[in-house]
Amino acid sequence: QLQNQRLQEQEHSVHDSVELHLRVPLEKEIPVTITQETEKKGHKLIESEDEFPEITEEMEKEIKNVFRNGNQDEVLSEAFRLTITRKDIQTLNHLNWLNDEIINFYMNMLMERSKEKGLPSVHAFNTFFFTKLKTAGYQAVKRWTKKVDVFSVDILLVPIHLGVHWCLAVVDFRKKNITYYDSMGGINNEACRILLQYLKQESIDKKRKEFDTNGWQLFSKKSQEIPQQMNGSDCGMFACKYADCITKDRPINFTQQHMPYFRKRMVWEILHRKL
């Protein structure tokens, strides 16, 4: 039922996106292309030690211990001005849905990792950003980047929550594109348009100059181009792992079968505040 509900919502989303495109043009005509990006062929699913490091017995014990009964309000990890309680960690157990706290913490760990040499620089918006931007407009979020220059990084990560489904949008300033990733195959060009419009408004507000959209492209990944979830529970994990691969400039080479491993791994990473 949940899966059907999500698919129905996505069908409405696609319809709404088309309707929006027909009746509400952007403030100015901008030279962007909406298209479907085709992945380069030849990427093989290789399970290397680097991509899927071993979870040792000691790590297993630590992970199991966290899932045992205890005070649900006990703080198990603190960083990035965020706190993770036992109740939050429980969302990583079995087939539970990830909550905002877990996703925000993970996105912050991706930002922290991006400071390492050789990796693209990253800024991640929190899980409430896109919903606020879409429903209340730019004025409602313009202060969220008071201390951040979004144009100074290589990649912007934007978690998107569609009621009962997590997706991810990625702005890549190096490639001049905005790409939407949905583990249930949804197409959401509207989200990409909203984010491009955000960049235009942010540039005028913070830089006092027009954002050059020439050459920018908007993509929604097709279901056959990226790994898809095979249940109604792992959308949050897929969104996080898409972001993980993208911020390492690596091909997205996992599948549904890796999710139990990733859930355990993420527990350990959050407890130790490091990827």
Catalytic residues: 165, 182, 235
Question: How far apart (Å, rounded) are the C-alpha atoms in residues 5 and 74?
Answer: 34
Sheet of strand 122-124: strand arrangement = 33-35, 217-220, 177-181, 166-172, 155-161, 122-124
Q: Which of 120, 114, 106 is nearest to 262 (CA)?
A: 106
Q: What is the 3-state secondary structure (H, E, C) of 8-74?
A: HHHHHHHHHHHHHHHHCCCCCCCCCEEECCCCCCCCCCCCCCCCCCCCCHHHHHHHHHHHCCCCCCC
